[in-house]
Amino acid sequence: MNFLERAIDSVFTKKVLPNKVLILLGARRVGKKAFIKNYLTTIPKQDYLQLSGEDIQDANLLKERSASNYSRLLANVKLLVIDEAQNIPDIGLILKLIVDSIDEIKVIATGSSVFDLSNKLGEPLVGRKNTIYLFPLAQLEFAKYENFKETTQKLEERLLFGSYPELEQYPDWNDKISYLKEIINSYLLKDILVYEGIKQSNKILDLLKLIAFQVGQEVSLQELARQLGISKNTVESYLDLLSKVFVIYKVPGFSRNLRKEITKSNRWYFYDNGIRNGIIANFSRLEARTDVGALWENYLASERIKYQSYTQKSVSNYFWRTYDQQELDWLEEENGILRGYEFKWNENRKAKIPGAFSKAYSEASFEVVSKANYLDFIM
């Protein structure tokens, strides 16, 4: 498959800076390696050194934490690239010493889980790092390669299979299903289970299934704990891990004015529809499904997250609901401005702004996102 130009291209290049670490984070298989490989074609080969955190010999080159060791290793090198950097012990302290002691050195570190890099890079690199996130392919990236008709024709496929880059080389739907099963079993779950001494792999998978069936709904931690037969604290720590390896993310409830507003529970979404459908082993066509509304909501939410990240918008995302069942699917706050959205797959179902919301937040805008206008929402 040819390399697809990614939305982070221009901002990435601007953030590769002397004596700074640029961290590229994203789930496994979203294209970090391909992106870095393509980026390095623009750099003379003698100017960079590329190491892998999964290679013991490479990791050993960094083991001796001294300025003299790194000066030898990086003599005549302008750019150091470390793939899967989270696998290297004390990587934060190593990178701090490198950027502090080697004049003009530029560093790129990639990782497939936030908790490793944040734990290991957090403190030492304060003021010395920038972070960019890479997601499965976004519609704003596909738009460079397909016309409106093709986008429309592929909507069902994207609701079912998501948009991991390698799926593009499998026209056959059965091959797409096999690929997603492989990702879930070989990468996502394996990544989670090697950390934090997690013993109960079946509980993680069962938790993901419960979340998958509750996309777009408030999730009760107590109820999840009861169904899984584990403690509420364990559920919380598992959800935290799942968000740190970019499987799911949470959207909190919004409240500013009303006592009736729900704020204590969260909604959870999957970063990718294909992973969600793979977890519940359901890739049936849309006409045979009862969860199309949830698929549509998950797709729009994840595409919006990608759009916000790639356009560098500083936005907080929420849902809004009252105890008497008035609700908004999606609410954004940007610089004090509120924008409310309702996601509707069935265009015959009319939606209007909830009365309690318009009364409490009269300055907020409101829009229904349907198949007719969804591209304006995600691009």
Distances (CA, A) of 236 to 209, 225, 226: 15, 9, 13
**According to the model, what pLDDT value does residue 187 have?**
78
Check: CB of residue 245 under 8 Å from CB of residue 183.
no
**According to the model, what pLDDT value does residue 319 have?**
95
**According to the model, what pLDDT value does residue 308 have?**
97
Q: What is the pTM of this model?
A: 0.92
**According to the model, what pLDDT value does residue 325 have?**
83
Convert the pLDDT of each residue in 3-53 to its tens digit.
689 999 989 999 999 999 999 999 999 999 999 999 999 999 999 999 999
The secondary structure element, H or E, covering residue 337 is strand 337-343
- Burial group, residue 42, by CB count within 10 angstroms (0-12, 13-18, 19+): exposed
Phi-psi region of 11 (alpha: psi -120 to 50; beta: other; left: phi over 0): alpha
**According to the model, what pLDDT value does residue 76 have?**
94
- What fold is seen in the domain 9-133? Rossmann fold (3.40.50)
Phi-psi region of 55 (alpha: psi -120 to 50; beta: other; left: phi over 0): beta
Walk along the chain (379 residues) in steps of 10 and give the mean pLDDT of each run. 81 95 94 95 96 95 96 97 90 92 96 63 76 96 94 97 96 97 84 66 89 94 94 91 91 80 85 98 97 97 97 95 89 95 87 88 94 96
Q: What span, in angstroms and rounded, lies between the C-alpha atoms of 54 and 140?
A: 32
> What CATH number matches the domain at 147-378, 3.30.429.10, 3.20.20.80, 1.10.10.10, 1.25.40.20?
1.10.10.10
**According to the model, what pLDDT value does residue 186 have?**
83
Q: Where are the domains of the chain?
A: 9-133, 147-378
Q: What span, in angstroms and rounded, lies between the C-alpha atoms of 106 and 92?
A: 15
| Residue of 137, 146, 237 whose CA lies nearest to 196 | 237
**According to the model, what pLDDT value does residue 62 have?**
96
**According to the model, what pLDDT value does residue 132 have?**
95
**According to the model, what pLDDT value does residue 244 have?**
85
